[in-house]
Every structure is written in C-alpha cells, then in structure tokens.
Amino acid sequence: MQNEIKNILKEYDLRNTSCREEILDLFLQRNFALSHADIESTIHEDFDRVTVYRTLKTFLDKGLIHKVLDDEGVTKYALCKEKCSHTEHHHEHVHFKCMTCGLTNCLDSVLIPSISLPAGYSLSETSLLVQGTCQDCNQKRK
Ligand SMILES: [Zn+2]
Ligand SMILES: [Zn+2]
Ligand SMILES: [Zn+2]
C-alpha cells in the first residue's frame, strides 16, 4: 500500500508529504466520495485545515481527484479513474447519492447524456447527481 501511494504521487509528479500520502491513502481505501470534513475527521495526524485544503487543490489540479457536487451544496471528492491530465478532467459519468447511508459514489459506467444548449450558450462542465438507494443498502433490506 505504501509503495502504491508513493508510485501514484510520483506518476503525478507530486512530492511526497505525509499529508498527501495520508489523504491519498484514504481515497484508495474508500470507494465513495469524501468531503473536506470527512477527510479532516478521518486522518490520523493533525493537519490543519489549510494543509488539507491545499492538498485537495493540488490533487484536483493534477487530475488525481475530481469534484463531486453533492446536494446541500457540499463538495465531495473522488479519485479519477479515467486518465485526467494536469490541464483537463474528462468526466461524463453520473454520481449517485444513497438516501439511506448518505454515501455518494461515481457510477463510472453510467454516462451523462449529451446536453444541447440554446444558441449563445457554451458548455464547460456538466454534473449529474442521481439520488436513490445503493446496492449495499438494497441488499441489507432483503
Ligand atoms: Zn478527473
Ligand atoms: Zn446506501
Ligand atoms: Zn466521479
């Protein structure tokens, strides 16, 4: 695990810092999107808010994680599975929020339908949040 983290940081041209390692480790362990508050309350060491914020921003800029817009205006983050570059993110997948467990995850195989805008508008980003009950919660119900 430690090696995997070091390799990923290296691949993305990022210097190793304990905060980066710790946060990346967290993203690799979880298969759902994390908010700033989730990260802060989960990491072991006491990194201040600014350090966590900067680390997330660096990961975003490098194409390692992407933003997941949740309901209630909370921004969450998830690992990029597609090849995102330093300059551009390529995400056309749907995000799913479970109303039972509250977790949001990437539905990488479900693509956002293409949107055609009226004349005079130009598109830079689309995001789609679908809400319902996730696989795990549906299974528990049975
Ligand atoms: Zn991305
Ligand atoms: Zn659920
Ligand atoms: Zn996603």
DSSP run (H or E) holding 132 = strand 129-132
Q: Give the Å distance between the CA of 16 and the centre of ligand 3.
A: 25
Q: Is 90 annotated as a binding residue?
A: yes
Nearest ligand, CA of residue 97? 2
Per-residue pLDDT tens over the stretch 76-123? 999 998 778 777 788 889 999 999 999 999 999 999 998 899 999 998
**CATH annotation of 2-141:** 1.10.10.10
Least confidently predicted of 9-13, 71-75, 130-134: 71-75
Question: Looking at residue 10, what is its pLDDT?
Answer: 93
What does each C-alpha distance from 62 to 20, 25, 46, 86 come to in angstroms?
Answer: 13, 17, 24, 4
